[in-house]
């Protein structure tokens, strides 16, 4: 009889926890303690992939015989990374900058077994085209949804979807923070039954 390994989400994000609970009933969460500062001249896609792997590796040290899931996400507008706004003023500034433009979201995923190299590292790109936004509607949106802990200053799973003209992604949950299609495939390769 084989024993199923524990599954650990290397994150303190309530969004990632909720997403993972859509496909798995039994997992634990641990917040990784890593430095998320970009390296000099590091491309956004390299940065986000590195962070997912570092998060998973950091958490794996405390969880032998486990499968670890690390993820990260960044928002890039015209080559510049937009972080989490943390304040309403910064959120207004970010959404004004995105108005009428296309923004790329890079959501990384690293799945590994403790004590081993990463089984997979993937980056899913989501392209979001924003409508032309008026300052008053941006302010109303931020007041209603308070997306201050979200890269890009919106929650696409809520009212934030009304800010868009279109979006394109091969894995729609990636924009919320965890690409479940990609994750389910990686877990199946490790023998974890998702369905």
Contact between 133 and 96 under an 8 Å Cβ cutoff? The reply is: yes
CB neighbours (10 Å) of residue 137? Answer: 14
Contact between 177 and 19 under an 8 Å Cβ cutoff? The reply is: yes
Quote helix, strand, coil % in the chain, to nearest 5: 35, 25, 40
Cα separation, 166 vs 113, whole angstroms: 37
Contact between 74 and 106 under an 8 Å Cβ cutoff? The reply is: yes
* Catalytic pick among 35, 72, 122, 136: 72
- Judge whether 72 counts as a catalytic residue: yes
Active-site residue set: 72
């Amino acid at each position: 009889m084989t024993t199923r390994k524990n599954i650990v989400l290397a994150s303190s994000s309530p969004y990632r926890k909720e997403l993972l609970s859509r496909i798995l009933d039994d997992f634990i969460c641990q917040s990784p303690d890593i430095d998320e500062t970009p390296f000099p001249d590091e491309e956004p896609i390299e940065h986000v992939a590195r962070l997912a792997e570092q998060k998973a590796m950091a958490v794996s040290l405390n969880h032998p015989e486990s499968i670890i899931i690390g993820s990260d996400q960044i928002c890039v507008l015209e080559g510049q990374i937009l972080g989490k706004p943390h304040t309403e003023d910064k959120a207004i500034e970010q959404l004004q900058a995105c108005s009428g433009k296309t923004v790329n979201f890079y959501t990384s995923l690293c799945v590994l077994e403790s004590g081993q190299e990463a089984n997979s590292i993937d980056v899913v790109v989501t392209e979001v085209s924003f409508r032309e936004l008026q300052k008053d509607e941006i302010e109303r949106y931020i007041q209603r949804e308070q997306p201050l802990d979200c890269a890009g200053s919106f929650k696409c799973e809520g009212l934030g979807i009304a800010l868009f003209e279109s979006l394109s992604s091969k894995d729609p949950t990636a924009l919320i923070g965890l690409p479940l299609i990609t994750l389910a495939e990686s877990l199946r390769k490790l023998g974890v039954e998702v369905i």
